[in-house]
């Protein structure tokens, strides 16, 4: 009888917790991505950073030929690393009810070539990303990017080939 009472008491205490976790995320296959101190690497064939005509300091960042997988790693206290589907990143971490939607992440963009030349640019633009739009069929992702660089970026458009977008939370 004592075991039965203990079972029902445990069930009554933990079942609501189980239900709240089960309904918190509709997609149970989505990995549990740490929200803090995490760096995401998003690769694309080409990235174009175009200056906004109507908003100084703002750009449109468009990634073309986006890799279907992303690598991420976290620092203390998590010390974890893994890969995830880019679409899962966009659907849960970036567009979900927590994470980047509430606190837009910082990012830098790197590429082996900048505007058709070998990239020897010492200045890497620091950006804040927001308003992502992805098109899985065309493997493109577009962000609104605000420049945090102290020097204004000196071109209206930057084209990065073999691009890596480094996103930090």
What are 53-63's pLDDT values in tens digits?
Answer: 888 889 999 99
Q: What is the DSSP letter of 67?
A: -
Tell me which residue of 38, 44, 64, 40 sits closest to 166, measured CA to CA. 40
Q: Using 50, 70 and 90 to split pLDDT, how confident is the model at 134?
A: confident
* Window from 19-28, 61-70, 102-111, 131-140 with minimum mean pLDDT: 19-28
Q: What phi and psi, each to the nearest 5 degrees, are found at residue 31? A: -70, 155
Q: Is the pLDDT of residue 122 over 90?
A: no
Q: Vertex 24, ends 19 and 29: CA angle to 5°?
A: 100
Identify the pLDDT of residue 53: 86
Between 162 and 101, where is the model more confident? 162
What does pTM read for this prediction? Answer: 0.74
- Buried (b) or exposed (e) across 59-94, using 16+ Cβ within 10 A? bebbbbebbeebebebeeeeeeeeebbbebbbebbb
pLDDT for the residue 135: 83
Q: Is the distance from CB of 143 to CB of 61 less than 8 angstroms?
A: yes
pLDDT digits (tens, 9 = 90+) for 75-116: 877 778 899 899 888 877 665 555 555 678 899 998 888 888
Report residue 16: phi and psi, to 5°.
-60, -35
In this model, does residue 31 exceed pLDDT 70? no
Q: Residue 34: what pLDDT?
A: 62
Q: What's the pLDDT band for 14 if we cut at 50, 70, 90?
A: very low
């Amino acid at each position: 009888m004592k075991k039965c009472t203990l079972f029902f008491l445990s069930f009554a205490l933990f079942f609501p917790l189980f239900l709240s976790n089960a309904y918190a995320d509709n997609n149970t296959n989505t990995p549990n991505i740490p929200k803090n101190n995490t760096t995401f690497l998003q690769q694309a064939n080409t990235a174009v950073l175009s200056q906004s005509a109507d908003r100084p300091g703002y750009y449109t960042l468009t990634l073309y030929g986006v890799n279907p997988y992303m690598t991420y790693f976290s620092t203390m206290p998590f010390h974890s690393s893994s890969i995830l589907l880019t679409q899962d990143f966009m659907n849960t971490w970036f567009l979900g009810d927590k994470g980047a939607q509430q606190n837009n992440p910082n990012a830098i963009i790197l590429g082996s070539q900048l505007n058709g030349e070998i990239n020897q640019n010492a200045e890497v633009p620091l950006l804040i990303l927001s308003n992502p739009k992805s098109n899985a069929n065309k493997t493109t992702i577009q962000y609104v990017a605000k420049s945090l660089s102290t020097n204004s970026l000196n071109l209206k458009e930057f084209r990065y080939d073999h691009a890596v977008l480094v996103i930090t939370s």
